Amino acid sequence: MGGGLIGDNIGVNEAVIKKTCSLSFKAHNSTNEPYITEVFRTSSDLTEYLVISFPGSWVETDWFVRKSFGETMIDLAQFPLLKSVGNDETALVNQAFFNRFDRLLKLSSFVAEVCSN
C-alpha cells in the first residue's frame, strides 16, 4: 500500500481534490437545486476545472438496484471520455446513481448549462 497524499498516488492535484470535496458538501446542503456547478483554477496550475456536484438522496431507488453493488458499465457512446481515475479504463458506475443522473439529463437545463461553461 502506498503512502503519501492521495493526489500523488492517483495523479490528481491535491487542491482539486479538496475543492471538489468542498463542492460536494455544498451541493448536499443545497436542497433546492438538483446540482451546482463551479468553474475554478488552482493557484498551482493554469488548468480550468468545471465541477458539477449533486446533492445526496434518501430515496431508495436513487441508491439501490437489484444486483450486487449496482455496478454497470458506462455508455461510451454517451460519455466517451469517462474513465476510472488513475487507470484510464472504462468507468464502472453505480446503476442507480446513473439512472438518477440520466433523468437529470433528460428533464432539466443541465446540458445547456454545462455546455455554456
Burial of 35 per CB tally in 10 Å (0-12, 13-18, 19+): middle
Question: What's the pLDDT at 104?
Answer: 83
Query: Over pLDDT 90: what percentage of the chain?
Result: 0
To the question of pTM greater than 0.85 for the whole model, the response is no
| Cα separation, 78 vs 88, whole angstroms | 17
Instruction: Provide the mean pLDDT of the chain.
Output: 77
The mean per-residue pLDDT over the stretch 33-47 comes to 80
The confidence band for 5, taking pLDDT boundaries of 50, 70 and 90, is low
